[in-house]
Amino acid sequence: MDKSQQLFARAQLSIPGGVNSPVRAFKAVGGTPRFISKADGPYIWDVDGKQYIDYVQSWGPMVLGHNNDRIRNAVIDAAQSGLSFGAPTEAEVIMAEKVRELVPSMEMVRMVNSGTEATMSAIRLARGYTGRNKLVKFEGCYHGHADALLVKAGSGALTLGVPSSPGVPEDFARHTLTVEFNNLDSVKEIFAAHGDDIACIIVEPVAGNMNCIPPVEGFLEGLRAICDEYGSVLIFDEVMTGFRVSRGGAQERYKITPDLTCLGKVIGGGMPVGAFGGKREILTHIAPTGPIYQAGTLSGNPVAMAAGLAALEQLSDQGLYESIFANTETLANGFADIATRHGIPMSVNVAGSMFGLFFTDIGKVTNYQQAINCNTEQFKRFYHGMLDEGVYLAPASYEAGFVSKAHSSEIISQTLDAAERVLRSL
Ligand code: PMP
C-alpha cells in the first residue's frame, strides 16, 4: 500500500468519506485520491513523492500558479502582527478599493469566507431588497451548498447524483425555480408565470460546474433584459470566473453589467475568502446601514486579506491574461486534435483560462443535458491514464479545468505528449 492508500484508509475512519469536500474522494473516477504534500508553480506532489502537472489549481484560486512567492511572503508578514482582530483594518479598505477598481460594477463590496457564503448572502440581499421570495437558477450550475441553491446543482452534487440533497426541506427549495442554461425561452416562460415574485436570477456566466460551458451569443444580454423588465436583481456568480476569464471577470469579457456579483477563489489567493457586492443602492440595505442581516467573525481576516491583495496586485502584470489564454487554447485544441487523430470523439470548450473536455460526438456542448450524456467511462480511463503520466485533472467529468500563469508552453506541450500516449491507448 502506498502512503495515499494508507492515509485514505485512515481518513475514512474519522472523516466522512475520508475528505472534507466530496469531489476530492475520487468517487466519479474510482481509485484512491492522491494525498498532497506540497505544490509549486504548475506542479503538485503527492505524499509518495510523485509529481503532477496540476490543472485543478485548488479548484480555481491559483491563477498565478501554486506557492506564489509574493502571496506567501504577504501571508508571513501579516501573520507576524496577529491572526484575527474582529475589528476593522486598513487591509479591508484597500481590498474593497481594489475590487472596485478591477470589477467596476461592484460599487460596494463585503468580504466573507467562502463562495457559499457569498452566494447565500447575495440572495438574501436580493430577496430583502426586492421584497420577493423566488429565485431563478440554472440546471447544472453550482453556487455552493446553501439550502436554496442545492436544487439541480452541478459539481459534486451532480457527480454524486444528488441534485437535490436530503436535508433540504421541500419548503426551502420551493422558491427555487430551475431553468435550462443557454435557453432564454425557458427563462422567459418562468418569468411570465412568476415574474412578480422573482427576486433574482443567479447564474454562473460561464458554467464551470457541469464541465465548462460558455454562454451562447445573446444569453447573458437576455438575462439582463429580463431582469430589467421585471425589476429582478441579476446576480453573476463569478466565484470561479472572477479574475479568471478576464481580469474583470465574465462581466468584463462579455460586457454585461450585473446588479450583484459574487467572488471567491482567486480573490483569496489560496486562503478561504469570498466577497459579494454590486450596486451601492442595493448594498446599503445590508446591516448595519440597512435591515438585512449578514455578518462574520473572521470576515475580512487580516491574513486572508494580505494573501488576496498580493494576488490581485499581480493581475495587472502586462500580458498576463493574453499569455494564459493563448496557452489554454493550445492545450484544449491540442487535446481535441489528438483525440480526433485517434478516432475518439471529443469536443472542447474554452473561456479564458477555463477549459472543458467532453467525450462526445455531438459537437459543441451548450447545456446540462448534453454535458451529462457524455461518455463518462471513456473519461475515467483517460483520467487514470493521465494521472499515471503525471497530469492531475479534476477527478470528475463535470468540472472545468484551469490553466495558470505557471503553465508555460513547455508544460502545455508535455501535457499534450502525455495525452498523445493516453488517447492512443484508449
Ligand atoms: N459558486 C461557484 C460558481 C463555484 O464554483 C463554487 C465552488 N466551486 C461556489 C460558488 C462555492 O464556493 P465555496 O466552495 O468556496 O463555498
Q: How far is the CA of 14 from the centre of ligand 1 (A)?
A: 25
Residues 6+ apart with CB under 8 A from 388: none
Instruction: Report whether 421 contacts 389 (CB < 8 A).
Output: yes
Fold agreement (3-67+318-425, 69-316)? no
Nearest alpha-carbon partner for 131 in 365, 314, 290, 323: 290
Nearest alpha-carbon partner for 321 in 400, 403, 264: 403
Q: In what order do the strands lie in the sheet with 36-40?
A: 36-40, 43-46, 51-54, 391-392
Instruction: Report whether 355 contacts 332 (CB < 8 A).
Output: yes
User: Could you tell which of 19, 114, 116 is best to mutate to test the pocket of ligand 1, judged by most ligand atoms within 8 Å of the CB?
Assistant: 116
Q: What is the pLDDT of residues 39-60, one digit of tens each?
A: 999 999 999 999 999 999 999 9
Closest atom of ligand 1 to 21 CA is: 14
User: Could you tell which of 240, 261, 298, 299 is best to mutate to test the pocket of ligand 1, judged by most ligand atoms within 8 Å of the CB?
Assistant: 240
> 405 in ligand 1 pocket by Cβ < 6 Å?
no
How confident is the model at residue 164, as a pLDDT?
67
Residues 419-423, mean pLDDT to the nearest whole number:
98
Residues 154-182, mean pLDDT to the nearest whole number:
78
> 240 in ligand 1 pocket by Cβ < 6 Å?
yes
Whether 52 is catalytic: no
Residues 130-140, mean pLDDT to the nearest whole number:
96
- The domain at 69-316 falls in which architecture? 3-Layer(aba) Sandwich (3.40)
How confident is the model at residue 156, as a pLDDT?
73
pLDDT band at 154 (very low <50, low <70, confident <90, very high): confident
Q: What is the pLDDT of residues 279-309, one digit of tens each?
A: 999 999 999 999 999 999 999 999 999 999 9
End-to-end, the C-alpha distance of the chain in Å comes to 27
Residues 6+ apart with CB under 8 A from 343: none
Interface ipTM: 0.99
Q: In angstroms, what CA-CA distances link 151 with 139, 166, 219?
A: 8, 11, 21
Rounded Cα distance, 207 and 151, in Å: 15
* Average pLDDT in the chain: 96
Q: How far is the CA of 239 from the centre of ligand 1 (A)?
A: 6
How confident is the model at residue 170, as a pLDDT?
81
DSSP β-ladder status, 108-112 and 51-54: unpaired
What residue spans define the domains of the chain?
Answer: 3-67+318-425, 69-316
Q: Does 101 have pLDDT greater than 70?
A: yes
Q: How far is the CA of 424 from the centre of ligand 1 (A)?
A: 35
How confident is the model at residue 169, as a pLDDT?
83
User: Could you tell which of 62, 120, 209 is best to mutate to test the pocket of ligand 1, judged by most ligand atoms within 8 Å of the CB?
Assistant: 209
Whether 98 is catalytic: no
pLDDT band at 159 (very low <50, low <70, confident <90, very high): low
Residues 355-363, mean pLDDT to the nearest whole number:
97
Interior CA angle at 115 toward 314 and 122, to 5°? 110
% of the chain with per-residue pLDDT over 70 = 98
Q: Does 161 have pLDDT greater than 50?
A: no
Residues 325-332, mean pLDDT to the nearest whole number:
98
Q: Does 162 have pLDDT greater than 70?
A: no
Lowest mean pLDDT among 116-125, 171-180, 307-316, 390-399: 171-180
Rounded to 5 degrees, φ, ψ at 337 are -60, -45
How confident is the model at residue 155, as a pLDDT?
74
> 204 in ligand 1 pocket by Cβ < 6 Å?
yes
Indicate the pTM of the whole model: 0.97
Interior CA angle at 401 toward 398 and 404, to 5°? 160
Listed in order, strand segments (DSSP E) in 204-273 are 233-237, 260-263
Instruction: Report whether 157 contacts 146 (CB < 8 A).
Output: no
> 248 in ligand 1 pocket by Cβ < 6 Å?
no
Q: How far is the CA of 197 from the centre of ligand 1 (A)?
A: 26
pLDDT band at 160 (very low <50, low <70, confident <90, very high): low
In CATH, the number for domain 3-67+318-425 is 3.90.1150.10
